[in-house]
Every structure is written in C-alpha cells, then in structure tokens.
Structure 1
Amino acid sequence: MKIVTVRDVAKLAGVSLATVSRVLNGTAAVSEGVRTRVLAAVDDLGYVPSLSARSLRATRTETIGVVLPDLRNPFFPTLISEAIQAANELGHSVITAASVRPVEEALWLAKRRAIDGLVLVDADRTGGAPSEELASLVPVVAFDRVPRVSGVETYQVDNYLGARRVTALLLRSGGRRFAHIAGPLELDVSADRLRGMRDELAANGVDDVQIVEGDFSEESGERQFGALLASSTAPDAVFAGNDLMAIGAMREAAQQGLRIPEDLQVAGFDGLVLGEYVTPGLTTYEQPAAEIARAAVNRLLELIAAPQARASAPEVHRIEGTLVARGSTRVLDEHDMHELGAVSARRGPRP
C-alpha cells in the first residue's frame, strides 16, 4: 500500500506544502476555505502526520532525559524507576541513557532536540566546560551527586546527617574501635559521609578512626576490610559508605571466622533491598528514592516551563532518610532507638 505523504495532500487540495504545514501545525492563519480543503484532503487520503517529524518542529517534546555513567550500583535503577513514574504521571516520557561519558551523551540528546530537560546522575567527575554548554541548551537538575555545572540544582539524601546517625547507633551499640570504608573521596557524597562519621565520633570523645577508600563495589568492601583486619588494631565497628561495600565487608568477616554482630558490627548506607536478604540483615541509612526523584522531576518541569527561574548559584536540596536497624548491629532498647530516630527491621528466625 502506497504511503500517503504531505505532498499528496497538497496536490489534492491544490495548495503548497507550506500551506498544508500551516494548517496541520496551526503556525499561521489561513482562510477558512483553504483550511477546509486541506482537512478534506487529509480525510480523503487517510494521511497521518509523522509524530517524530512533528516533535522536531514543536516547541516541546514532552520528554525528559536521565543520563548516568552505568547501572552497576543497584541504587541508581531504583532512583531512575521512581523518576520515570513521576514523569509519566505528569504526562512526560523519559529517555534513559547510560554512558561512560554521561555529559557527552546528554549533549547529544540536547543538540538533537530530543529532550526538553535533563536529569544528570553521577556527573561529578565529568568536568566543567562541556557541562556549561549543556546547561545553556536545556534545563538541568541533578540526582545524588553534585555536578560541576553553574546554577544546577541537586537533589540528594542528607549524607552528613545520615552518617552521623549511623555512627551514633554504632556508638550506642558498644562500638569501640571504629573504621570507615569510604566511597571515592573525590565525590561529594563520600566526603559528606566521612565528615559526618568523624564529627559524631568527635562529639562523643572518639578521635581515632581508621579510613580506607573503596569504589562502592562489593569487591572493594571485601578487599578493604581485609586490609583493616591486617592492621595492628582491627575494628569492632565498621561503617561502609554504601550497602554494597558493607556486604563485601561482611563476606570477608565471615571468611575470617568473625561473628556479626558479636565480634563485629557493620552498617551501610543506601537502603538497598538486598540488605534485607543477607544474613544477618544489614543495618543501613535508607535513602528516600521516591521523594528525591519526585522533587527533582517536579523542579525540572518547572524549569522547562519557566527557564528564567534557574538558580544563579548551585543549590543542594538535602532530604532526610531513615536509619534502619537490622541484625548486623546489636539490639538497642526502645529508648535508644527513639532517640536515634531509628526503625527496627530485624527478621525473626525462620520456622
């Protein structure tokens, strides 16, 4: 069957291609007689305008982009899923892309007018100059990690507060020799979590903490905890910069014959579902992924509608998470749990 084109419509209506375009897109006034002839030709021929072509000509695509470096960290798919749901509920589609060069990927989308706005994830290490170009093309907001882009707002959990609460729990649970397995320290989230732990320990008269640096993977948690055990003072309380590294540390502890939480207490950060299913369950600071995603998407849509509302200086919106106590730390009484703002999610023995 022959595909009907706009040329066929113009020929049947006896008008130019430009006139057909004006009628179909409503971009300029035409006489009622011409409009009637064009629409009659469309009906007679069964012409269906190309949606992709119309989106290229339209002011808005009703589509936003979410770009990140990879999907290996299970927290990011959770965050992206929440963002897609929030955008869909507000009538927008989402293009998701993972690239080792996330800003270049975002630029490619923006320059082709494929998106109205963009959410950057994990953009901290992408550099400054390309990001400045990106921010001039489309409205941009960031999840989780602060990008080096002037005026871009970031939505993240309160990493500093979360780290202080995790450390306070380890102190209340009887921790004496502390260690921190940090994420990459050039990232703002890692630096804030380390600072939170140090400040909470200092507030309680503890100045000594061993610090090793991982890369947010299970393997690095396992490897770095092995290094801690080889030190002259093995820790009895470990706060890992994310849940994956905490789970890696627990694996190494088990291989070395350490009992958790009797010999070693371990806590993580993120609140991955996976933490519920390791044995014992992992104590963690749970990020409010749905709240972060919705706040960022809502703000992005505001900026798309009113680009002049862009902040003149970067703003970081920090959202409080939830301290979740499980079996990897010792049981605290109800009073301590209340003071820490913690919730218990300990599993009972299987029948």
Structure 2
Amino acid sequence: MTTEHGAPTLDDVARAAGVSRSTASRAINGGERVSPEAQAAVDDAVARLGYSPNRAARSLVTRRTDSIALVVPEPDARILTDPFLAGVLRGVSEGLTGTELQLVLLLSRPDERPGHIARYLRSGHVDGAIVVSHHRDDRLEPELSRSHLPAVFVGRPFKPEGLHYVDVDNVAGGRTATHRLVERGCRRVATITGPLDMTATLDRLEGWRAELGEAGLPADVVAHGDFTAAGGAAAMEQILDEHPDIDGLFAASDLMATGALEVLRARGRSVPDDVKIVGFDALGVAERTTPRLTTVEQPLVQMVSVATSTLLDMLAGERVADEPRILTPHLVEGETA
C-alpha cells in the first residue's frame, strides 16, 4: 500500500499507528524507550503500509552501518591465488547468511600508506571487523585495541591483550610436521618459513626447532618464503645450493611445498626417496600434487565459523569470552613423507 504521494513515509506510519513521528522512528530503529503497545502498533502499520525504512536515515539514528569489514592486509592478487584467504572470504560471507549485514572487503594497495586501513576502520564506516593475515607493522592491532570497534582476528595477534582471536595451534602444527619427518628417518631437516612479520610463521618455526631439538638434530637449515608457490621454489633453490645433504623438509604452507616439489623434481631429487616433505594447510592444494602431499590440517572452516559467530555476538551486545579459541591441528596422510 502507498500513499497519494507514492511510497509510504515515516509520517504515514506514525499516523496509522497513532503515535508521534519520533516514537515511530525509535520503534522502527530498535525499539528503545518504546512501550510494547506502541511497538506493536508501529509494527502493524509498517506491515499494512509496506513501509521500507531509509537506511541512510536509519544509520543516523542507530549509528549502525549494517556492514562489517573483512580485513586482509595483502595485495588483491593473493585473494585469488591463496586457498587460505579465499576460504576465509567464502566462509565469512556464508556466515553472514540470514543477516542483513553487508561484507566490505579491505585489501592492501602497493602505494598505500601504513595505517590506512586502520584509519578507515576507526572512522565509523563499518560496525565490526574480522582481520586475517595481519602483519606486525600494519597498525591494526594497536588501533583496534584502543578503539571500541568490535573485532575478531583470525590468527594470533603479536600483542593479544584486549583483542579477541581464534587460531590453530601453530607451534603444535610445526612439531607434528617435523615429528613425522624425524620418525620417517630424516636426519637433516630443513624448513621454508612464511614472512617473519606474521605470528603463524614464528609459531610454526618454533615448533620445527623444538621438535628437532628434542630429537637431538640440528635446526640450522632455514629459508624464508612468503606463503606462495614462487616463494617456496626460490627458498628450495637456496636450500639445495647451501645444504645439498638435506633429506627432509617442512614447508610452512602447502603452496610453498608445491614450489619446492617442482624444484626438487628439476634437480633430480626423488620425493619421498631422497627428500621427504610435509606441508601445512590441507585446503585442497595437497590433493593435487604428484606425489600427493603429506600435510598438517589447518581447520579453516571451524576457525572462520568461530570468528564470524563471535563477531555477530559482539554486535548483538552479548558477552563473549575473553579467552582465545585455539584449535588443534592434525596430520593428513599423503605420499611425500
């Protein structure tokens, strides 16, 4: 139903409900300081008139944007090629099904000044944020810690005090991968890390070192990658040039493991006969390698589900636990170790 002027207005709803315009506005935008009788009358008038509130005007009243940000401080190309980042995007989007929230994707640009994304979040453009693949110097941690914006990190922050996050136990994952190599007889075990300004990298590296230390084996063959196949290949070339005697490799991501496999094949090294490999992620890449990659599972679906539901609870004003959710990694059998 419409009025003679076209679409029904807030004044039309107020008249039909027998309440003031301000009462009708409050009832439509959250029901604060509205009696049950007035709320019911406004709800009935909205339904009868087919009234649709102006979202811009609603945001002025509620100070809500009905949008949340998925913050990925990485170049846009990584979203398309990295199964972890693509899985996070898909999972958060699916987690918002049934809500009226829109998803805003925030990526880094090559020419972007440090702190640009943090300033955007602080300016009230979104109601909350999920942060993934953050780096030490992107300023997200201190800015979100000081702000009142509800936020959840996927991955341990460097300074987690006052921040909500969910993560996999990356130290345990690094140990699990390295333990498999040691128990398979490897005595010269190398690792390819991710970027050293990320907590996942440092934790997986710590697990690798701890496991080799307990086995009484040297932990001196380290090359740094960037969680990409090209980075894994370059790191593998470096390792073979400097340490041709390696017989085991823990690659801190499956994409880097695929690059390492190509280099080993080109250098005439057989996997797993000459060099055994364990990766990390189990997000589809390991199933497509030849031989099929042995890897450590990162429970991404559960991580994203927990992060999204936690943020929704925060937006609803519900109390959420201060303690982080740390999930357990598991070895996924393959043919490379």
TM-score (normalizing by structure 2): 0.80
- Superposition deviation, residue 233 in structure 1: 3.8
Matches within 5 A, 1:148-297: 148=159, 150-297=161-308
Give the counterpart letter for 1:230 in structure 2: D
- Superposition deviation, residue 296 in structure 1: 2.0
Q: Given the superposition, is the C-alpha separation of residues 273 and 36 from structure 1 closer, same or farther in structure 2, using an over 3 Å criterion? A: closer
Matches within 5 A, 1:1-351: 4=7, 6=9, 9=12, 18=22, 21=25, 24-25=28-29, 47-58=51-62, 63-70=67-74, 71=79, 72-88=81-97, 91=99, 93-100=101-108, 104-105=116-117, 107-109=119-121, 111-112=123-124, 114-115=126-127, 117-128=128-139, 131-132=142-143, 135-146=146-157, 148=159, 150-306=161-317, 311=322, 316-329=324-337
What's the CA shift string for 1:12-50, capped at 9, x where partnerless?
A: 9899865763565555669x99x989x879967x65322
Q: Given the superposition, is the C-alpha separation of residues 21 and 135 from structure 1 closer, same or farther in structure 2, using an over 3 Å criterion? A: same
Q: What is the rounded CA distance, in whole Å, between the counterparts of 2:61 and 2:250 in structure 1?
A: 52
What's the CA shift string for 1:175-232, capped at 9, x where partnerless?
A: 1211111111222111111111111111111124301111111111111111111125
Q: Larger deviation: 19-28 or 315-324?
A: 19-28
- Superposition deviation, residue 69 in structure 1: 2.0
RMSD across aligned positions (CA): 3.6
Give the counterpart letter for 2:295 in structure 1: T
The residue matched to 2:223 in structure 1 has which SS? strand
Give the counterpart letter for 2:221 in structure 1: Q
Q: What is the rounded CA distance, in whole Å, between the counterparts of 2:257 and 2:190 in structure 1?
A: 12
Larger Rg: 1
- Superposition deviation, residue 56 in structure 1: 4.5
Q: What is the rounded CA distance, in whole Å, between the counterparts of 1:21 and 1:106 in structure 2?
A: 33
What's the CA shift string for 1:94-141, capped at 9, x where partnerless?
A: 5141321696436535633532x2211122334448843575231111
8 Å contact from structure 1 (residues 107, 134) kept in 2: no
Q: Given the superposition, is the C-alpha separation of residues 291 and 191 from structure 1 closer, same or farther in structure 2, using an over 3 Å criterion? A: same
8 Å contact from structure 1 (residues 127, 148) kept in 2: no
Structure 1, gaps ≥5 residues long:
330-351
Q: What is the rounded CA distance, in whole Å, between the counterparts of 1:222 and 1:172 in structure 2?
A: 25
Q: Given the superposition, is the C-alpha separation of residues 156 and 103 from structure 1 closer, same or farther in structure 2, using an over 3 Å criterion? A: farther
Q: Given the superposition, is the C-alpha separation of residues 297 and 16 from structure 1 closer, same or farther in structure 2, using an over 3 Å criterion? A: closer
Q: Larger deviation: 297-306 or 9-18?
A: 9-18
Q: Given the superposition, is the C-alpha separation of residues 40 and 65 from structure 1 closer, same or farther in structure 2, using an over 3 Å criterion? A: closer
8 Å contact from structure 1 (residues 83, 290) kept in 2: no
8 Å contact from structure 1 (residues 164, 200) kept in 2: yes
What's the CA shift string for 1:50-108, capped at 9, x where partnerless?
A: 2443245336566433211231422122133223333436x463514132169643653
- Superposition deviation, residue 301 in structure 1: 3.0
Give the counterpart letter for 1:50 in structure 2: N
Q: What is the rounded CA distance, in whole Å, between the counterparts of 2:328 and 2:46 in structure 1?
A: 59
Structure 2, gaps ≥5 residues long:
none
Q: What is the rounded CA distance, in whole Å, between the counterparts of 1:204 and 1:40 in structure 2?
A: 74
What's the CA shift string for 1:239-283, capped at 9, x where partnerless?
A: 111111111000111111211111111111111202101111111
